Structure 1
């Protein structure tokens, strides 16, 4: 039976919806990436600046504003039906849907009919994509830009004009999402292809690059020009510190890179696309890299990893674009697994995800029937054990539907040649769906700032004036503004500000050092699921300002 008849578009569409939609709504913005991203989105949504991203009243020049602007538009469209942060997060779902389509088109352009859906299954199955693809931050828009530009390169030998438009637009989207990394990587790949391989050394590829340059130019010029016209200082901060500084080591953005970080990360992050890609390269590349179908994805992976490895900062989310060429390469050999190996992997996937689903259902039933979370000691380190669960009919119905669909799929998996890949991706989708429905309220109670800041706000008088802050991170400042309407006055920026209250963030293990000059502790607290950070609210003693500040002792969260 032909491959495209076995793996149908309606089936892939349903599985894609089951993967993408759960987890997009139903929780507050989470640290580390969502909280500050939504802070900027919130400013744009409220009529703020489109040229200079603003976070809690201050310019935030790490990234260009495309994702923030698009998420603010989506939030405006859906905020009548959803909380604002959930409505904004739908933008990530839209970018993810576009990425899935582009991955499929890239594989189809590379391998021919029927392989596009295989690449989509390999892409969806990647462990590293699971959580990040459901959060609202710029790397999801960057991923879509990479997927579009990669599709342009895959198409360049057959339809150069359309390929150039896709390549240039994808580079522009990537640039407006996260800066120079997209033009740098895809520009290197596009130039190195004809330099290294004769199959790409032709007029069609040259025509594709010419069209791509024209298509990318507006994306690369308009916003930087507007930013420079607004503030040359902010332009240099964005260009020099937040782009070149990541590679030269003086930006201090994100976690510092460690030797062989991505070599250690990729085996689990890109599973199962990575082993399938290696299998494809081995089975199809016995003549070396003489086949154009192998040249593009292999070169793209090498260039991406080289650029990521050269950066002074590292993070798993930075490796998301690598999943695109790996998934396309995996589609070439996914059907070539020996039948015995395929059957064994299929049964391992069934056992693994069936067991995980049973654990998730068992934990949820304990919460429902006993009225409190299960007494599992390993969970107590991450989740609050005083959480009070409530039955949610819609979440329960979705979880039942996902579980039933997975069981029905197992009965028909033998009909597909790529059954181990489908078994893995469907099982991963089921587990994610159960976590995002049955367990989401408990997870959100641990990661949300809402309860903590509500407790702090109750400790403040109705007319408290300005609120100063010390060591308050960008995530916390964003959530403080969104959830309380308070924009803190940072001591690091305005040390001479005279506020009657100061919010201090520090490590729970450190000895608390109160501000100097007659302050007393009013409140202290932390997120229920984070025992490492501590927040302390100090109020001036009444003699310091001549005003009576109502302080009745510590108000713990």
Structure 2
């Protein structure tokens, strides 16, 4: 491994793994996914993901398999269930560096793209969290970089890398994992066809055939799922939770935002390197016809942005698969600025001072940015546990159970349902209706129900204890 590659690897390890288990599960996604992975481990059922005892078929189970495997190997800790995402981020950064070098880009540009990707705030936070989005980004990155390299020099290695990327992306997010690289490939090949004024059928057939190969793992899991849950279960994965989210027909999914949602998020999408990304897109706009390399990464950004904008369900985390392309555009433009500074070395102005010390200035900026992330991991995120952690809530459940009381969850949301399974390592009884709630509480004076609400429950319910996670209040009640 070369010196730049080694330094990039070590910095990425520091950014993604330092203090990875220093805080508890926070937010709905971490609690939900960790809970599903814990139940998969407890039930030893690797086909049907379950949340709080019920089938949860919003997404294929690659991230859950990895998280459940980590629980089995290292124990049920937040650190264990974050490992898969952290490794996905590390692999994405190193793959981006390696492929840029294969594209013929200088070491400095490839290294810069890698470190800019690793230090994008949204990317860093998602890579260090429990979920499937880091794996989706890895799969999309593998597929698209292999596709572009295959356009230049087709090889068995590129074909396998492409198919592996499709497999990872689709096993992480289903149809979306196919659409995210697919829309870029379609747009890029269409642009090439128009610019070259001829259709190269082989360029279209190659990714299509390799995509079929990459879909084999997903098809195997769907076949097993069909044996367990029938056509309804398969349809829920492929149609309800994928097509339904895009069209808006799956109302329960939520996250519905106006079409301009992502436009409003652009000022924070690629922080702290936003200005380099957007100025780079503007600067390179006239050279795209002659530079297929820049064209490809521009299309990567724009095609995915348009597709996500057209979707009904919107979240900022969905922009994560665009970040490698953004990092490349930012790195290339940073290289342009760095070269321009050389012309001002002799200038007596402040620009000349910067030009003469340009390497020191760049290293100082990177040092401050890189250093801020371990500091946040060490101090800021654990501090947020005071308000966002589900651990105190589940510890109270454990305390009640240890004293001989039975605890059930009334209309448990995904957050508390997942967190309770993860931390207690058991599936508590669930109560869905008011009648079930009162029947459970009347059955024994030692029975306690946990319920969420905007207001304190009214009589005849008696509140034993009130706790808050974020803005949500939870009540331990009895009769």
Q: CA deviation at 1:471?
A: 3.5
Question: Residue 135 of structure 1: CA displacement?
Answer: 0.6
When residues 311 and 164 of structure 1 are mapped into structure 2, their CA distance, relative to the original with a 3 A threshold, is same
- Aligned mates of 2:134, 2:144 — CA distance in 1: 15
1:504 corresponding residue in structure 2:
451
The residue correspondences of 1:43-192 to structure 2 (distance < 5 A) are: 43-79=39-75, 84-114=77-107, 115-161=109-155, 162-192=157-187
What CA distance in whole angstroms lies between the structure 2 residues aligned with 1:423 and 1:202?
48
CA distance in 2, matches of 1:172, 1:141: 11
Structural mapping, 1:353-392, within 5 Å: none
Which residue matches 1:453?
394
TM (norm. structure 2) is 0.85
172-181 or 431-440, larger mean C-alpha shift: 431-440
Note closer, same or farther for the CA distance 1:341–1:170 as it changes in structure 2 (3 Å cut).
farther
1:261 corresponding residue in structure 2: 261
Return the alpha-carbon distance in structure 2 between the equivalents of residues 138 and 123 of structure 1. 18
Say which SS state the counterpart of residue 121 (structure 2) adopts.
Answer: coil
Unaligned runs of 5+ in 2: 346-355, 442-447
**Aligned with 2:421 (options 477, 481, 506):** 481
Maintained 8 Å contact 1:514/1:538: no
Give the length in aligned residue pairs.
454
Q: CA, structure 1 residues 237+60, in 2 after alignment: closer, same or farther (shift >3 Å)?
A: same
Deviation per residue, 1:146-169 (Å, 9 max, x gap): 111121122112332333322222
Instruction: Tell me: CA distance 1:318–1:23, structure 2 relative to 1, closer, same or farther (3 Å).
Output: farther
**1:535 paired to 2:474:** yes
Cα 1:499–1:221, aligned 2, differ >3 Å: closer, same or farther?
same
Partners of 1:342 and 1:268 in 2: CA distance: 31
Distance 1:489 1:129 in 2: 37
Q: Secondary structure at the match of 2:416?
A: helix
Structure 1 window deviating more from structure 2 (227-236 vs 198-207): it is 198-207
- Give the Cα–Cα distance (whole angstroms) in 2 for the partners of residues 170 and 342 of structure 1: 44
Of 446-455 and 172-181, more deviation after overlay is shown by 446-455
Choose 38-47 or 203-212, whichever is displaced more: 203-212
CA RMSD across the alignment: 3.0
Moved more, 107-116 or 27-36: 107-116
- Tell me the alpha carbon deviations over residues 194-250 of structure 1, each in whole angstroms, 9 at most, x when there is no partner: 222146954763464155234313133111222122112222222222111111213
| Larger helix fraction of residues | 2
Task: State which of 9, 15, 25 in structure 2 corresponds to 1:13.
Answer: 9
The change in CA–CA distance for 1:210 and 1:441 in structure 2 (over 3 A counts) is closer
Higher RCO (C-alpha under 8 Å, 6+ residues apart): 2
Alpha-carbon distance between aligned partners in 2 of 1:312 and 1:341, rounded to the nearest angstrom: 49
Q: 2:133, 2:82 → 1: CA distance? A: 13
* Mapped contact 1:172–1:219 kept (Cα < 8 A): yes
How far is the alpha carbon of 1:486 from its aligned partner?
5.2
Structure 1: unaligned runs, 5 residues or longer: 344-411, 541-557
CA contact (8 A) 1:248 1:311 kept: yes
Shift of 1:264: 1.7
Q: How does 1:157-556 map to 2 (within 5 A)?
A: 157-161=151-155, 162-198=157-193, 202=200, 205-206=203-204, 208-231=206-229, 232-251=231-250, 252-337=252-337, 338-339=340-341, 414-415=358-359, 420=362, 422-459=363-400, 462-465=403-406, 467-485=407-425, 487-492=427-432, 496=436, 498-500=439-441, 501-507=448-454, 510=455, 512-514=456-458, 518-527=460-469, 530=470, 532-540=471-479
Q: Is the 8 A contact 2:166 2:211 kept in 1?
A: no
Give, in angstroms, the shift of residue 494 of structure 1: 9.8
Equivalent pair of 1:277/1:330 in contact (CA under 8 Å):
yes
User: Does structure 1 conserve the Cα–Cα contact (< 8 Å) formed by 2:28 and 2:414?
Assistant: no
Tell me how far 1:49 sits from its aligned partner.
Answer: 1.8
In the alignment, what sits opposite 2:348? none
Quote how far apart the aligned CAs of 1:521 are. 2.4
